Chains A and B, each alone.
Chain A
Amino acid sequence: MRIVEKRQLLSAEELGRTLQRMAHEIAEKTGGAKDLALIGVRRRGVPLSQRLAKAIRSFAHVDVPVGTLDITLYRDDLSTVGAQPVVQSTDIEFAVDNRDLVIVDDVLYTGRTIRAAMNGLFDLGRPRRVRLCVLIDRGHRELPIEASFIGRTVQTSDTEIVEVRLQEIDGEERVMLVDRVADSAGAGSGGKI
């Protein structure tokens, strides 16, 4: 299996503008970000949530608390073969009770990650409302989960992968659509699995 880049979905500039727009939408839909808190899902939801909070602070002058959620322990695909995912810390320093929470992740796909994230959040308390913000919605849901704030909706096939590359993690800034292509010389699946 070989990974080929098919096209760029967002440039660095477009990504920046998209986040600005979503920050405004979130502030608008949460009454000026009054009881708002953002929850970034590891890994790429974390820098995204921090950027959104920074944007909201700059125009609404509200300090929005930001937490980090690790969903490993809440996954539903733990079986008995292969490598085991490493558990990382969940850092949510504020009480989630009665908060207006927005979960932030890079790509919405099957919805299973978000299902796990909600389970994790409800173990911490009882938020008043939980909404979802994603940079890319690529379809193929396996659960009845939809996002309230979407950066861009993209039609994809099953073999394609949406790669969100962020400065903080990947050292570059853009969103790519890549595809897995059968290749006789290929060793293993490679890429982001």
Chain B
Amino acid sequence: MLQRLPHLLGIESLNREQIEFFLDQAKPFQEFQRHPLKKLATLRGKTVAIAFFESSTRTRISFTTAASRLGADTMALQAEASSLKKGESLIDTVRTLDAMKPDAIVMRHSSSGAPHFVADRLEIPVLNAGDGTHEHPTQALLDALTIRDRKGTLEGLNVTILGDILHSRVARSNIHLLTKFDAHITLCGPPMWMPPEVEGLAPCLRRVLRIEEAIEGADVVMALRVQTERLHEPALPPDEYIAGYQLTPDRLRLARPDALVLHPGPMNRGLEIDSAVADGPQSCVLEQVTNGLAVRMALLYHLVGGPPADAPHPAKD
């Protein structure tokens, strides 16, 4: 049994026990995705605000579906259609949402720390669905779940992360999480996309320049999405990225034969990942999507779902 968390803002502040608890709690929800009738009444009458101040399709759909399968209603705010365009400040927008009395807010924002800012000012649980280049905790949890399902453990695995580490909140959350399980992390990507403090990020972390060396002996290879808008600042021709860092079948052969391939999506096929790898037997890309639902259902249940009242009758233990 775990002390209930008030929010889920990042992986960095969680301990190993809390992470394991969420991975364990996701198991029944994984199984639930196979039910013919995918609707619970557990959060009936609860409302989850889905506030995305930055565009997103898959994470937003995943959270909305997770809430809906638990029986909650959702209120959606999308950057393109909202009063943000009319210049409203973040806190005013969030307070307006809060005034409609949701029971939790799932939030994505392009500024690092925005969910923390909101969490300090609202009474309801805040779930970080990605903030700037800081954290994307549910992605790291769904990745960990996928890895643990296939490998049986996270302990001491060799995990290689490829691509734009500097701008990647997915990488950051994954590094925080995997480090707590003493995984050996190898980073590889263009030098200007490597954070300057890289080696200081975690103890069991190394940076490797050549992709072949980075992949050799890996248990897990995680290809990050190239945010194509960043190819111009400073200029990096796609050809150069492909030549240096694309995950190809030949390169993947250097990893352990049972190595897993992960990608947070959406994939740029032919840029950071070759189609043959993306669709190959080692790819867990679609499993990651399904696991994302399970992890998000478990988190919403934890943050929004109530514990039992002090019932006068013995409840099931």
* Chain A residues at the B interface, C-beta cutoff of 8 Å: 41-43, 70-75, 77-91, 109-110, 112-113, 119, 122-125, 140, 158, 161, 192-193
Counting chain A CB atoms within 10 Å of each CB, the highest count among B36, B308, B317 belongs to B308
Q: Tell me whether B27 and A89 are in contact (CB under 8 A).
A: yes
Q: Mark B286-317, 1 if CB is under 8 A from A, else 0.
A: 00000000000010011001111111111111
CA distance A136 to B273 in the complex (A): 60
Tell me if B37 is interfacial: C-beta within 8 Å of chain A.
Answer: yes
Chain B residue with the shortest CB-CB distance to A107: B314
Distance from B185 Cβ to chain A, minimum over Cβ atoms (Å): 30
Tell me if B28 is interfacial: C-beta within 8 Å of chain A.
Answer: yes
Distance from A110 Cβ to chain B, minimum over Cβ atoms (Å): 6
* Apart from A77-B315, A81-B306, 16 more pairs, CB < 8 Å: A70-B28, A73-B301, A74-B40, A75-B42, A78-B309, A79-B309, A82-B307, A83-B1, A84-B302, A84-B307, A86-B1, A87-B29, A88-B28, A113-B316, A123-B35, A123-B39
Contacting residue for A124 out of B36, B40, B301, B314, CB 8 A: B36
Contacting residue for B306 out of A84, A91, A112, CB 8 A: A84
CA distance A91 to B25 in the complex (A): 15
Distance from B222 Cβ to chain A, minimum over Cβ atoms (Å): 28
CA distance A91 to B194 in the complex (A): 45
Q: Tell me whether B307 and A80 are in contact (CB under 8 A).
A: yes
Contacting residue for B37 out of A71, A77, A123, CB 8 A: A123
Complex contacts, B312 vs chain A, CB 8 Å: 158
CA distance A83 to B302 in the complex (A): 11
A-B residue pairs in contact (CB < 8 Å), sample of 25: A73-B70, A73-B301, A74-B41, A75-B42, A79-B309, A80-B307, A81-B307, A81-B309, A83-B4, A84-B4, A84-B305, A84-B307, A87-B25, A87-B301, A89-B31, A90-B28, A112-B313, A123-B35, A123-B37, A123-B39, A123-B40, A124-B37, A125-B36, A158-B312, A193-B315
Q: Do most interface residues of chain B lie in helix, strand or loop, or is the interface mixed?
A: loop
CB contacts under 8 Å to A, within B56-77, are 70
Q: Tell me whether B28 and A87 are in contact (CB under 8 A).
A: yes
Contacting residue for A192 out of B27, B29, B314, CB 8 A: B314
Knowing A86-B1, A192-B314, say if A73 contacts B40 (CB, 8 Å).
yes
Q: Tell me whether B31 and A90 are in contact (CB under 8 A).
A: yes
- 6 A-B pairs closest in CB distance: A84-B307, A78-B306, A79-B309, A123-B37, A79-B306, A80-B306
Distance from A87 Cβ to chain B, minimum over Cβ atoms (Å): 5
Complex contacts, B1 vs chain A, CB 8 Å: 83-84, 86
Q: Tell me whether B42 and A73 are in contact (CB under 8 A).
A: yes
CB contacts under 8 Å to A, within B1-42, are 1, 4, 25, 27-29, 31-32, 35-37, 39-42
Distance from B293 Cβ to chain A, minimum over Cβ atoms (Å): 15
CA distance A119 to B42 in the complex (A): 11
Complex contacts, B35 vs chain A, CB 8 Å: 123-124
Complex contacts, A122 vs chain B, CB 8 Å: 37
Chain B residue with the shortest CB-CB distance to A75: B308
Q: Tell me whether A119 and B25 are in contact (CB under 8 A).
A: no
Complex contacts, B37 vs chain A, CB 8 Å: 122-124
Complex contacts, A110 vs chain B, CB 8 Å: 313
Contacting residue for B316 out of A43, A80, A81, CB 8 A: A43
